[in-house]
């Protein structure tokens, strides 16, 4: 089996792991990565092993250890290209795709998306630094967050980032910083006018596959619709350069309609800002939220369908209102990186509770993937060193942490397993490493990037000594 394995579907699961993987002869470019359970380059090789990016997963574990995050470069680049090309195809105005780096912020990921023409959406000074060190231009970095400190705001200003203002505290802090700088630089030409956007709550709230429209949404993010005019009035009287507005309606969304509707909500604020307060906005950021496939039953729209829907909604709303099309920004995170990565574990022992359950343990768990215990998230997995083995048992994959709730996957069909087998969990690129912890004093795993038969380390595995690096032991406690 050497063709691309594009998806796993419940109805095709048969007697073996290999047979349950649906083949396709489509080119990588025609597949939307977010709709796939596996990275696009995944195959089963002649050794009956799972292979990604031309690299045998079993050999990767032998070389780098486990747990191990394995990122497929081709899948990540394909997603970036599909977003960018879809906007060129479906939106008549200017556009800019920003990678929501909270999904996974590291130098390699930021460098790849930056090289594909994407900007970076960041939510902390640490993410700003990562994007800058990865070579991303500060003009393409947009700084979000609901409680930015004055220090972080100053750093963002000095770096040249656009700041997405979330609340009154930030707005007034930025205005004060601008005034202070104006006084300090009154005899120089080095003054920097803060470039901002305003995050507004759009009144569209998504709940998995359904959404509601209300005048007020209970959220910690963004200005409430009832205070928009006061915000516009303040900005108009300030020295801030407000270039546009931002909204975000949720994440892991499969429905297209709410993303189409957001254009109609945002255009009314564009028009109000211009006609009543003289604010000439040029950019509209409609956030992200496109879902990915974690299990066979998930059926998210493709990247192109999402972009087409968003573009049509914004275009219709602005043309009907007699306004010029804005520069349209979006912030995909999960839909770019989620399905491009897998996590490989080494299986340890097993425990059978008669007539109830069989547990299979792995050498990781909630510290490298906190989503199952936090969100009850579901995943799919295979035994990577025996891909053609018969699916003969239903087991629960348990992590090694001292928590009874440290369960990665409950009731999954797998072949008979032995200690030392390699279990691979799919779709672990988003919010896995970025939310990883050192719970139980476990070092964080390594991460590698694979492509064209080569692998490269992108995050080193922590050591036990690394765990003590920030610890301090006062002299009076030393014996």
Tens-binned pLDDT, residue by residue, of the chain (479 aa): 333 343 343 333 345 676 555 434 356 678 999 999 999 999 999 999 999 999 999 999 999 999 999 999 999 999 999 999 999 999 999 999 999 999 999 999 999 999 999 999 999 999 999 999 999 999 999 999 999 999 999 999 999 999 999 999 999 999 998 888 764 554 444 557 889 999 998 877 666 555 555 545 777 888 888 899 999 999 999 989 999 999 988 889 888 888 888 998 999 999 999 999 999 999 999 999 999 999 999 999 999 999 999 999 999 999 999 999 999 999 999 999 999 999 999 999 999 999 899 999 999 999 999 999 999 999 999 999 999 999 999 999 999 999 999 999 999 999 999 999 999 999 999 999 999 999 999 999 999 999 999 999 999 999 999 999 999 999 999 97
Q: What residue spans define the domains of the chain?
A: 144-332
Q: Which CATH architecture has domain 144-332?
A: Alpha-Beta Barrel (3.20)
Asked if residues 3 and 25 have their Cβ atoms less than 8 Å apart, the reply is yes
Separation of alpha carbons 146 and 223, rounded Å: 10
Q: Report helix, strand or coil for 325.
A: coil
Question: Does residue 402 have an active-site annotation?
Answer: yes
CB of 272 closer than 8 Å to CB of 50: no
What's the distance, Cα to Cα, between the start and end of the chain in Å?
Answer: 62
296 contacts 9 by C-beta, under 8 angstroms: yes
Cα(77)–Cα(274) distance, integer angstroms = 38
Element (H, E) at 174: helix 168-184
How many Å apart are CA 3 and CA 61, to the nearest integer?
23
Query: Could you give the CA distance from residue 267 to residue 305 in angstroms, rounded to a whole number?
Result: 22
What are the two backbone dihedrals, phi and then psi, of residue 177, each rounded to the nearest 5 degrees?
-60, -40
Count CA within 13 A, CB hemisphere, residue 298.
Answer: 25
Nearest residue to 339 (alpha-carbon basis) of 23, 33, 10, 8:
33
Instruction: Answer whether 197's CB lies under 8 Å from 243's CB.
Output: yes
How many CB atoms are closer than 10 A to CB 46?
9
Residue with tokens 């970095």: 141
Distance (Å, whole) CA 289 – CA 295:
18
* Whether 34 contacts 303, CB under 8 Å: yes
Reading the block at residue 42, the tokens are 């995944």
Give the tokens for residue 383.
């035994």
Q: Are 206 and 178 in contact (CB under 8 A)?
A: no
The pTM of this model reads 0.92
């Amino acid at each position: 089996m050497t063709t691309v394995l594009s998806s796993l579907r419940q109805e095709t699961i048969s007697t073996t792991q290999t047979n349950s993987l649906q083949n396709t002869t489509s080119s990588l470019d025609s597949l939307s990565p977010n709709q796939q359970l596996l990275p696009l380059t995944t195959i089963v090789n002649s050794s009956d092993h799972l292979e990604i990016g031309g690299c045998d997963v079993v050999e990767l574990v032998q070389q780098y250890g486990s747990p191990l995050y394995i990122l497929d470069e081709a899948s990540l680049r394909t997603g970036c290209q599909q977003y960018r090309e879809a906007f060129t195809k479906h939106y008549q105005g200017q556009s800019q795709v920003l990678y929501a780096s909270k999904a996974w912020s590291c130098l390699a990921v930021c460098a790849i998306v930056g090289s594909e023409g994407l900007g970076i959406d960041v939510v902390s000074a640490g993410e700003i630094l990562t994007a800058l060190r990865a070579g991303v231009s500060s003009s393409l970095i947009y700084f979000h967050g609901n409680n930015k400190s004055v220090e972080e705001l100053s750093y963002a200003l000095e770096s040249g980032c656009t700041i997405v203002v979330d609340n009154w505290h930030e707005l007034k802090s930025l205005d004060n910083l601008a005034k202070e700088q104006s006084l300090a630089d009154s005899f120089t030409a080095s003054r920097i006018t803060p470039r901002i956007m305003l995050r507004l709550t759009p009144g569209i709230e998504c709940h998995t596959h359904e959404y509601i429209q209300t005048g007020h949404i209970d959220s910690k993010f963004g200005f409430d619709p009832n205070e928009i005019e006061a915000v516009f009035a303040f900005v108009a009287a300030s020295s801030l350069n407000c270039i546009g507005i931002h909204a975000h309606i949720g994440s892991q969304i499969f429905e297209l309609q709410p993303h189409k509707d957001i254009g109609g909500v945002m255009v009314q604020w564009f028009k109000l800002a211009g006609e009543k307060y003289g604010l000439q906005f040029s950019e509209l950021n409609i956030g992200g939220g496109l879902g990915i496939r974690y299990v066979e039953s998930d059926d998210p729209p493709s990247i192109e369908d999402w972009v087409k829907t968003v573009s049509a909604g914004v275009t219709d709303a602005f043309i009907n209102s007699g306004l010029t099309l804005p520069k349209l920004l979006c912030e995909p995170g999960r839909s770019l990186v989620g399905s491009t990565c897998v996590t490989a574990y080494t299986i340890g022992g097993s425990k059978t509770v008669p007539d109830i359950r069989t547990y299979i343990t792995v050498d990781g768990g909630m510290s490298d993937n906190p989503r199952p215990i936090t969100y009850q998230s579901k995943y799919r997995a295979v035994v990577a060193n025996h891909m053609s083995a018969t699916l003969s048992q239903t087991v629960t994959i348990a992590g090694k942490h001292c928590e009874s709730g440290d369960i990665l996957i409950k009731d999954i069909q797998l072949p008979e397993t032995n200690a030392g087998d390699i279990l691979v969990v799919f779709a672990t690129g988003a919010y896995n490493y970025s939310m990883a912890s050192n719970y139980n004093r476990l070092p964080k795993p390594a991460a590698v990037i694979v492509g064209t038969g080569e692998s490269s380390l992108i995050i080193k595995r922590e050591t036990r000594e690394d765990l003590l690096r920030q610890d301090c032991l006062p002299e009076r406690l030393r014996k």
